[in-house]
Amino acid sequence: MRVVMLSKACIVGAYQRKLEEMAALPGVDLTVLVPPSWREGGRDLTLERAHTRGYMLEVLPMALNGHFHLHFYPTLGRELRRLRPEVLHIDEEPYNLSTYLALRHARALGCRALFFTWQNLLRRYPPPFRNMERYVLRHADWALVGNEAAEAVLRQKGYRGRTALIPQFGVDPEIYRPLPEVERPGTPFVVGYAGRLVPAKGVLHLLEALAGLEGDWRLEIAGSGPLQEALESRARALGVREHVSFSAHLPSLEMPRFYNRLHTLVLPSLTMSNWQEQFGRVLIEAMACGVPVVGSSSGEIPNVIGDAGLIFREGDVAALRLALQRLCDSPALREELGRRGRRRVEERYTQARIAAATVEVYRQLLQRTD
């Protein structure tokens, strides 16, 4: 089974473990096409070659790098004619130019094609994106959806094809795991947040909740963004600035040590008019490390956490404070939730499980006769 995947996300080294797991499955001949870099949030993410066994990782030039909707690969058609895939996996949203062009190439070659979507809000796009999306939804053979709401969105937009609920990436449980050598002190109670510092992530609410917490605590923030100055200012106004530390974006392979320093990780996301939490990858990373998690009710967060953490109503500072107080006061609860989180990741969210589910979709695609 000759498979070509087109994916800018796979420039991240940690994500490439899924590709190794896919290539290790019987009968899979995998080539992954990636750009040399991707420009996002004012910085360039360059290709990492961390996990490259068993498959071909090839670089294609990208036009309009950094433009989420408009980037594309000028030489893709030529490369696909050379590779002659049976399945083309377009690891992009259906309303993007790169997806539209890749699907047209796939149809010209007569190969099966599928796309991936996280989009969990019903959004109507202006031309030409609306036209490209309609073409993709009409002609794609399969859709991979990263959360439960994404399938409903596709159906509302007229998609009639097959779908499979498979997150884009899992975690490697050998990398994201409890690390006994990382010191986690008994006190203070260490709370972590990892991600962008933007209003939609609800970090100001987390700070407000912690300011009223009983006991000694510390907040470690890994990430950057336009909200950092406001967070620092609010922490000073609340008289807790000395309890809060900031570190810039950490490379993916340094994150396990960050999680292992925490007593809990919090994802306090807020639903906005144009966004709600689509998955919350930091949750499964922390869970794999045996760290209990607290998440808001925004989007997919409750489905990811299940019974392996605490969930509060988004935007409810008092409810978040209560959840944190429970964890602060009960090492036994933290230990139990940590065990549940690790088990849930092993059952649902490892790279190996996601790879196997993805390859099963390829096999079913090739078995279809319509």
Q: Could you give the percent of the chain with pLDDT greater than 70?
A: 99
Q: What is the pTM of this model?
A: 0.90
Amino acid at 245: S
pLDDT over 90 at 229, yes or no: yes
331-348 vs 281-288: helix crossing angle, rounded to 10? 110
pLDDT over 80 at 364, yes or no: yes
Place 212 in a pLDDT band, splitting at 50, 70 and 90: very high
The residue ranges of DSSP E strands in 106-263, in sequence order, are: 112-117, 142-145, 162-165, 189-194, 217-222, 244-247
Buried b (16+ CB within 10 A) or exposed e, 187-224: eebbbbbbbebbebbbbbbbbbbbbebeeebbbbbbbb
Place 369 in a pLDDT band, splitting at 50, 70 and 90: low
List the structure tokens of 154: 């596709």
pLDDT value at position 290? 97
Q: 27-59: per-residue pLDDT in tens? A: 999 999 999 999 987 788 999 999 999 999 999
- Mean pLDDT, rounded, for 301-327: 97
pLDDT over 70 at 1, yes or no: yes
- Mean pLDDT, rounded, for 241-246: 96
**Backbone angles phi and psi of 281, in degrees to 5:** -60, -35
pLDDT value at position 34? 98
Place 252 in a pLDDT band, splitting at 50, 70 and 90: confident
pLDDT over 80 at 249, yes or no: no
Q: How far is CA 344 from CA 5, 112, 171, 288, in A?
A: 28, 33, 12, 8
- Mean pLDDT, rounded, for 227-235: 96
Average pLDDT, the chain: 95
Place 351 in a pLDDT band, splitting at 50, 70 and 90: very high
- Mean pLDDT, rounded, for 224-234: 95
Of the chain, the end-to-end C-alpha distance in Å amounts to 18
Q: Could you give the percent of the chain with pLDDT greater than 90?
A: 92
- Mean pLDDT, rounded, for 228-238: 97
Place 147 in a pLDDT band, splitting at 50, 70 and 90: very high
Q: 53-109: per-residue pLDDT in tens? A: 999 999 999 999 999 999 999 999 999 999 999 999 999 999 999 999 999 999 999
pLDDT value at position 19? 98
pLDDT over 90 at 254, yes or no: no
pLDDT value at position 186? 78
Q: Which residues pair with 193 in a beta bridge?
A: 221
Rounded to 10 degrees, the C-alpha dihedral 9/292/352/282 comes to 0
The structural domains of the chain, ordered by start, are 2-170+350-367 (3.40.50.2000), 189-348 (3.40.50.2000)
Q: What is the DSSP letter of 228?
A: H
How many angstroms separate the CA atoms of 112 and 56, rounded? 20
List the structure tokens of 54: 């068993």
The residue ranges of DSSP E strands in the chain, in sequence order, are: 2-6, 29-34, 37-40, 43-46, 56-59, 87-90, 112-117, 142-145, 162-165, 189-194, 217-222, 244-247, 264-267, 293-296, 309-312
pLDDT value at position 204? 97
Place 370 in a pLDDT band, splitting at 50, 70 and 90: low
| Strand 56-59 versus strand 29-34 pairing type | parallel
Q: Which residues pair with 72 in a beta bridge?
A: 63
Do residues 223 and 194 touch, judged by C-beta distance below 8 A? yes
- Mean pLDDT, rounded, for 223-251: 93
Q: 169-198: per-residue pLDDT in tens? A: 999 999 999 998 887 877 899 999 999 999
369 compared with 277, residue with greater pLDDT: 277
